[in-house]
Structure 1
Amino acid sequence: MCGIAGVIHADPQKPVDPMNLVAMAAIQHHRGPDGFGYKVQDDRGVGFSHARLTIIDLDENRGRQPFLSDDGNLMLAVNGELYDYKRIRTDLTSRGAKFRTKSDSEMVLHLYRGQGLEDMLPQLRGEFAIALYDRQRDRLMLIRDRFGVKPLYWTEVNGSVVFGSELKVLFAHPDVPRRFESRGLYHQLMQTMVPGSTAFEGIHQVKPGHVVTIERRHGKFQIRDDRYWDMDFPLLSERGEEKDEGFYIEGIREKLMEAVQLRLEADVPVACYLSGGIDSCITLGLSAAHQQSAVKAFTIGFDNADYDETAIAQEMARSVGADQDIMRLDASHLYDNLVETLWHAERTIYNTLGVAKLLMSRHVNRAGYRVVVTGEGSDELFAGYPSFRRDMFLHGLDTLSPAERASWEQLLAESNQLFKGAMLAENELHDPALDALVGFTPSCLQPWLASAAHAPGLMAVHHRDAVRGYEPGRAIAEALDGDMIEGRHPLDKAQYVWIKTMLEGQILTWGGDRVDMANSMEARPPFLDHHLADLAVHLPPSMRIKGRTEKYVLREAMKGLLPKVLYEREKFAFMAPPAHTDPKKWAAMKALADQYLSDQAIQDAGLLDPAGVKALFALHEDPETSASTQVQLDAVINHMIGVQVLHSHFVAQDIPALARRRAEALGWRV
């Protein structure tokens, strides 16, 4: 795990300033504190830099990137891990490839040179963001892993393309503007981003499972965005007759065990994150079985009993003989660390879980670990979230008897109460564009589309005017591939939309990579292994949600591994308590609001409307406002504070100058 950066000019004779590359590496020192490297091809106007976190091949000099191929034709920088690399290296060596390092990353050079891009991509297994320059074809390829575990941003400005692992890496380049875009601001205030977009003008993400190819022709760029993989659920007409349950159970067991085993490969110790959910408990149990020794397990404990899962996590740790380390958090501490978290998240967050995860990654790093196995992705593959049950009930169970329908309604009312206003909307909402694309408005988007009603009134007048008539639901719908939705089962549709919006834009960013790598922590999610995913899409809906049981096939596949209380437990989303549920946390939030949402702070940033901000707080504190609406408004308040903090971090602050000062302090020089 590392950080990458680079520049390519449309004019190949224009030299790349190496100091910019060094500064872009230095601003992401947290991603790669073990050293840096850069390479420039002056006669081609191309340069890469790399901040290194050593996980595989600990030799400081041998594994240093960027890599150049022996013939000088290819230049490579990689962030992430590529699994099953030893087998691939052995195969490549047998065909004459000569490796200079023991790293997993170097094999990309040999795969591309021998097989080309199209045949190389299916062999890349893991979490990665890759920059690869082909001198002969004069093209730069930016490649992102299938689910978007690793971030990768790019922008075209002043005749150059600038790219990097984080927004601040691009902002460290003096030519890149740092301005909020009105629609991006709108989506920050409502939580859900349009896939591939950011809050900032001209800054794009490489989409998960995509390659952005930049070629030069006569001093101009030709930029192409191609998808190489997607979550391809079968058409209903292709599903055919279901196989015996044992077929699916054994298949999932085999693929998951393989995915976990591959993610234990490292030249440093590997630990596990452990909550009270079955996902992290499964990864811990399988890790313990593979290692056949005590695994270090790290758990977050909250001081709010409704959200704390420590007791169940302790039971799982005892059952596999894990060495458990519990970090207990006081509610007020979360807002004390929100500003730092937003520097790393680079987007607003609706729940302070992201802060808790940042504090946890720091705790784990200080305990001497830099790699953890995590449970992210299980709910996406096996339909674990409350929103999936709701969509399954409303749109996928047309043949229910009155008694069965009453049982489902009772289940949803009981199990979803805690998440209303956050993971579930208080009232069902229909967006015309999403209804037209999907056949219904997926429940996962409904709370945020409900929040969108507040956004225009919170925005400064010029931003509000710029989004007049804008439909956020339509923008999200237009960014989704209708061919991957049409003709699928309603549960498939709901999962696909979640994966393209909530997973990439939330769980894997401010709940994953960004707050883990803030403390040089590499998180490995085996559930997001694409071999496992390719099998999971073929599971019948009844193997994902069976009666009252979500993630049915996974529970059955891991039944012998889980304690009875976990095997029988319903899904509980891992969240931090909302601010209004705790007086100390509410006071801490208000203290931040006094600082960042004062009339003067709002005027200085030019993003929000002070009258709109005051009106939203008044609505929150109105005795007539329901608890579910308060949860929703808690999220909006977090977003309001968040955009103001982001402005102070990335617009008001001189990031290029900060990056150069950091490079100087680190001793990273040209």
Structure 2
Amino acid sequence: MCGIAGVFHHQTDRSIDAQTLVNMAAIMHHRGPDGYGYQIKPEQGVGFSHARLSIIDLNEQRGRQPFMSADQRLMLTHNGEFYDFKRIRADLTARGARFRSKSDSEIVLHLFERYGLDATLKELRGEFAFGLYDEKDQSLYLVRDRFGIKPLYWTETEHGVVFGSELKVLFAHPDVKREFSAEGLYHQLIQVMVPGSTAFAGINQVQPGYVVKVKREHGRLTVSEHKYWDVNFPNEHDYPGDDVDEEQYIEGVRAQLLEAVQHRMTADVPVGCYLSGGIDSCSILGLASASTQTSVKAFTIGFDSDDYDETPIAREMAEATQADHHIMALKANDLYDHFVKTLWHTERTIYNTLGVAKYLMSQQVHEAGYKVVMTGEGSDELFAGYPAFRKDMFLHGLDHLPEIERLEWQQLLEKNNKLFKGAMLAREEFVSEAFNQKMGFTPSCVQPWLSCSSVALPLMSAELRERVTDYDPSKAIADTLDETMLEGRHPLDRAQYVWIKTMLEGQILTWGGDRVDMANSMEARPAFLDHHLAEYAFTVPPHLRIKGNKEKYVLREAMKGLLPETLYKREKFAFMAPPAHTDPEKWKAVEKLAEQFLNQRAVEAAGLLDYEEVVRTFERHQDPNVPAEEQVQLDAVINHMLGVQVLHHHFVATDVPQQAAQRAKELGWVA
């Protein structure tokens, strides 16, 4: 697990500054504090760099990247983990390959040499992002894992293409412009992003399951992309009926998850577990504990709010598995005290301070001497765990139910979803014509964010607001969705597909995952997002994912033997930090940040927001007559207002190339 960076020029005779490559690695030292490396092919106009976090093959010299093939044709810089690599390496060795390290990364070079890229990608299992240059084809391949667990950004400049693991890595290069786009700002204020985009003009993400190919032809670079994997549910009529053998799917889920967990325990350093009070992380800890002879270290976040704190169940699970349990108790003002630093790592706004909590937790994991933890992310996406999925199942997948059963469902949904209104569920039904045309309905998971458009648009400065007068954010998102993956699918499958393509990649795996974990040099391994497990989960009939009103039914049954009874019977609770309006101390911390970043001078200097609308938003939030669910929504909007101002401070107002050069100097990282 590391950080990667690189430059590819239009012209082969344009020199690449080695120290700039090193500076790009230095500014993401948090991703790779165990060493750095760089390689330049001057006659090819290409150079890579790498910051290393050593987890597999701890030998500093042998594991140093970028890697070159024996004939110098291929150059690789890789971030992430490939599982089952020992089997692949042994097979390749038997076929004549000669490995120079014990690193899992090196298998890419040998697979590519023998079989080409398409066949190589089919063999890769895990979370990864890499840049691969092929001198023979004069092409750079930027590749991202199937779910987007690992980040990878790229941009075009006057002289070529620049790529890296984080935005600040690109911004460390003096050719890369640093400015918000009007559309990017709009989406930051409503939380949900257009897949493949960022807040900044001209800065792109490699989408999950995609390859971006940059090829030099006649002294110019051309960029193309293609999808090598997608979330592919069966056609609705291909599922078995109600008389299906449940046990078949229960056994299948159990076997696939156990295999995924065991693969992710492979490391040359200890592997711990994140532990909340949910089925997902408890299942991971239970299987991990059963798979090893030693006690597993478990890390839990505790909040000083009974409505959001899950430590009692986590403690019960830790005791049942004899885990070495570490609980981090957070107080209200802890979260906003670290808000600004967290956003330097997330590089995008956050609607809830859970991202800050996870940043603080990864700090404690690092202090405990751990570099790797397994996590439960992805379970809700595969097995329909979120409140929005139950709502869509009820509205669009259960129209055959008798009226009395539908009424019971509706009453239970309204009761159980009260806590999430304004955040994970929209306050009121929001209809997007673009989504309706694309998939037949507007998924409940995107409604709370799209419904913020009427609040977010007036918040934008007059100049930027003018640029998006005719812009429809919901259409921009819907247009990126592959219609062939939606056509003929069950409504629940369509809803899960949209969540995976938007909120999973754009939120959970970024500011709730990699970015706050790697901020403290800590690798997270989400076992549920093993693509073998995922492909099996896609075949589970919808009525076994949500059975009656019980979400994640098939997973509950698969893990029933190791879960505490209270957890087995418990309804899904979305892991969130308490919103600001729920605690006076937390609100004071918000106001303190607002005094710094949302004062009139700061707002007008950045040119992103309309100061009068900022003031009106705060006044509305403090109105005692505002309903609780609107306060939840306003909490999110205020977090986003603070966020865009903080991002401007970090990446536009600050001289990032100079910051990167200074960091390299402090570290002693020199070309």
| TM-score when normalising by structure 2 | 0.99
Name the SS of the counterpart of 1:272 in structure 2.
strand
Q: Does the Cα contact within 8 Å between 2:436 and 2:442 map onto a contact in 1? A: yes
The residue number in structure 1 matching 2:455 is 454
Distance between the aligned counterparts of 1:132 and 1:605, measured in 2?
38
Name the SS of the counterpart of 1:479 in structure 2.
coil
Name the SS of the counterpart of 1:4 in structure 2.
strand
The residue number in structure 2 matching 1:227 is 227
Distance between the aligned counterparts of 1:122 and 1:452, measured in 2?
40
Name the SS of the counterpart of 2:169 in structure 1.
helix
The residue number in structure 2 matching 1:595 is 596
Distance between the aligned counterparts of 2:580 and 2:413, measured in 1?
25
Which of 410-419 and 498-507 deviates more? 410-419
Distance between the aligned counterparts of 1:472 and 1:356, measured in 2?
29
Distance between the aligned counterparts of 2:596 and 2:386, measured in 1?
36
- 1:19 deviation in Å? 1.0
The residue number in structure 1 matching 2:654 is 653
2:232 aligned partner, one-letter code: D
Name the SS of the counterpart of 1:43 in structure 2.
helix
- 1:293 deviation in Å? 2.1
Matched, 1:291 2:292: yes
Distance between the aligned counterparts of 2:534 and 2:412, measured in 1?
28
Once the two structures are superposed, the pairs formed by residues 529-608 of structure 1 within 5 Å of their partners are 529-608=530-609
Identity %: 65
Q: Does the Cα contact within 8 Å between 2:7 and 2:47 map onto a contact in 1? A: yes
Name the SS of the counterpart of 2:358 in structure 1.
helix
- 1:221 deviation in Å? 1.4
Matched, 1:205 2:205: yes
- Two-structure CA RMSD over aligned residues (Å): 0.7
Name the SS of the counterpart of 1:399 in structure 2.
coil
- 1:159 deviation in Å? 2.6
Matched, 1:172 2:172: yes
- 1:234 deviation in Å? 1.0
Name the SS of the counterpart of 1:268 in structure 2.
coil
2:328 aligned partner, one-letter code: M
The residue number in structure 2 matching 1:238 is 238
Distance between the aligned counterparts of 2:294 and 2:241, measured in 1?
43
Name the SS of the counterpart of 1:307 in structure 2.
coil
1:394 aligned partner, one-letter code: L
- 1:251 deviation in Å? 0.8
Distance between the aligned counterparts of 1:594 and 1:435, measured in 2?
42
Which of 565-574 and 229-238 deviates more? 229-238
Matched, 1:154 2:148: no
The residue number in structure 1 matching 2:614 is 613
Structure 1: gaps (5+ residues)? none
- 1:618 deviation in Å? 1.5
Q: Does the Cα contact within 8 Å between 2:240 and 2:541 map onto a contact in 1? A: no
- 1:127 deviation in Å? 0.3
- 1:482 deviation in Å? 1.2
1:220 aligned partner, one-letter code: R
1:328 aligned partner, one-letter code: A
- 1:238 deviation in Å? 2.9
- 1:624 deviation in Å? 2.6
Distance between the aligned counterparts of 1:444 and 1:353, measured in 2?
18
Name the SS of the counterpart of 2:479 in structure 1.
helix
The residue number in structure 1 matching 2:639 is 638
Distance between the aligned counterparts of 2:553 and 2:312, measured in 1?
23
2:235 aligned partner, one-letter code: L
The residue number in structure 2 matching 1:345 is 346
Distance between the aligned counterparts of 2:10 and 2:553, measured in 1?
53
- 1:292 deviation in Å? 2.7
Distance between the aligned counterparts of 1:218 and 1:257, measured in 2?
51
Q: Deviations over 1:284-341 (max 9, x none)?
A: 0000000132110000000011000000000000111111000000011100000000
The residue number in structure 1 matching 2:127 is 127
Which of 509-518 and 434-443 deviates more? 434-443
Matched, 1:390 2:391: yes
The residue number in structure 2 matching 1:307 is 308
1:12 aligned partner, one-letter code: T
Distance between the aligned counterparts of 2:215 and 2:377, measured in 1?
35
Distance between the aligned counterparts of 2:121 and 2:238, measured in 1?
26
1:239 aligned partner, one-letter code: Y
The residue number in structure 1 matching 2:67 is 67
- 1:664 deviation in Å? 0.8
Distance between the aligned counterparts of 1:453 and 1:536, measured in 2?
37
The residue number in structure 2 matching 1:216 is 216
1:609 aligned partner, one-letter code: D
Q: Deviations over 1:44-80 (max 9, x none)?
A: 0000000000000000000000000000000001000
Q: Deviations over 1:170-218 (max 9, x none)?
A: 0000000000000000000000000000000000000000000000110
Distance between the aligned counterparts of 1:176 and 1:253, measured in 2?
47
The residue number in structure 1 matching 2:522 is 521
- 1:241 deviation in Å? 4.5
Q: Does the Cα contact within 8 Å between 2:421 and 2:629 map onto a contact in 1? A: yes
Matched, 1:278 2:297: no
Q: Deviations over 1:256-284 (max 9, x none)?
A: 00000000000000100000001000000
Q: Does the Cα contact within 8 Å between 2:144 and 2:151 map onto a contact in 1? A: yes
The residue number in structure 2 matching 1:467 is 468
1:251 aligned partner, one-letter code: G
Distance between the aligned counterparts of 1:50 and 1:411, measured in 2?
52
Q: Deviations over 1:471-522 (max 9, x none)?
A: 1111110111111111110000000000000000000000000000000000
Q: Deviations over 1:561-596 (max 9, x none)?
A: 111111111100000000000000000001101110
Name the SS of the counterpart of 2:7 in structure 1.
strand
- 1:666 deviation in Å? 0.4
Name the SS of the counterpart of 1:105 in structure 2.
helix
The residue number in structure 2 matching 1:665 is 666
The residue number in structure 1 matching 2:82 is 82
Once the two structures are superposed, the pairs formed by residues 363-512 of structure 1 within 5 Å of their partners are 363-512=364-513
1:456 aligned partner, one-letter code: L
Name the SS of the counterpart of 1:158 in structure 2.
coil
Name the SS of the counterpart of 2:116 in structure 1.
helix
Distance between the aligned counterparts of 1:436 and 1:622, measured in 2?
38
Q: Deviations over 1:118-154 (max 9, x none)?
A: 1110110000001000000100000000000000000
Q: Deviations over 1:532-588 (max 9, x none)?
A: 011111110011000011000000111101111111111000000000000000000
2:120 aligned partner, one-letter code: M
The residue number in structure 1 matching 2:332 is 331
2:414 aligned partner, one-letter code: A
Distance between the aligned counterparts of 1:560 and 1:537, measured in 2?
23
Distance between the aligned counterparts of 1:220 and 1:474, measured in 2?
33
| TM-score when normalising by structure 1 | 0.99
The residue number in structure 2 matching 1:141 is 141
Q: Deviations over 1:609-657 (max 9, x none)?
A: 1011011112112233110010001000000000000000000000000
Distance between the aligned counterparts of 1:168 and 1:69, measured in 2?
29
Distance between the aligned counterparts of 2:82 and 2:173, measured in 1?
29
2:307 aligned partner, one-letter code: D
The residue number in structure 2 matching 1:100 is 100
Distance between the aligned counterparts of 2:151 and 2:504, measured in 1?
13
Distance between the aligned counterparts of 2:627 and 2:268, measured in 1?
52
- 1:4 deviation in Å? 0.1
Distance between the aligned counterparts of 1:33 and 1:350, measured in 2?
30
Structure 2: gaps (5+ residues)? none
2:180 aligned partner, one-letter code: F
1:656 aligned partner, one-letter code: P
The residue number in structure 2 matching 1:43 is 43
1:170 aligned partner, one-letter code: L
Distance between the aligned counterparts of 2:432 and 2:574, measured in 1?
25
Distance between the aligned counterparts of 2:531 and 2:43, measured in 1?
39
Q: Deviations over 1:342-391 (max 9, x none)?
A: 00000000000000000000001001101000000000000000000000
Name the SS of the counterpart of 2:44 in structure 1.
coil
Distance between the aligned counterparts of 2:162 and 2:284, measured in 1?
37
Name the SS of the counterpart of 2:499 in structure 1.
helix
- 1:240 deviation in Å? 4.6
- 1:237 deviation in Å? 3.1
Distance between the aligned counterparts of 1:312 and 1:534, measured in 2?
30
1:276 aligned partner, one-letter code: G
Distance between the aligned counterparts of 1:378 and 1:255, measured in 2?
13
Q: How many residues align?
A: 670
Please list every run of at least 4 consecutive aligned residues from structure 1 whose deviation after the TM superposition is greater than 3 angstroms. Answer: 240-243
1:58 aligned partner, one-letter code: L
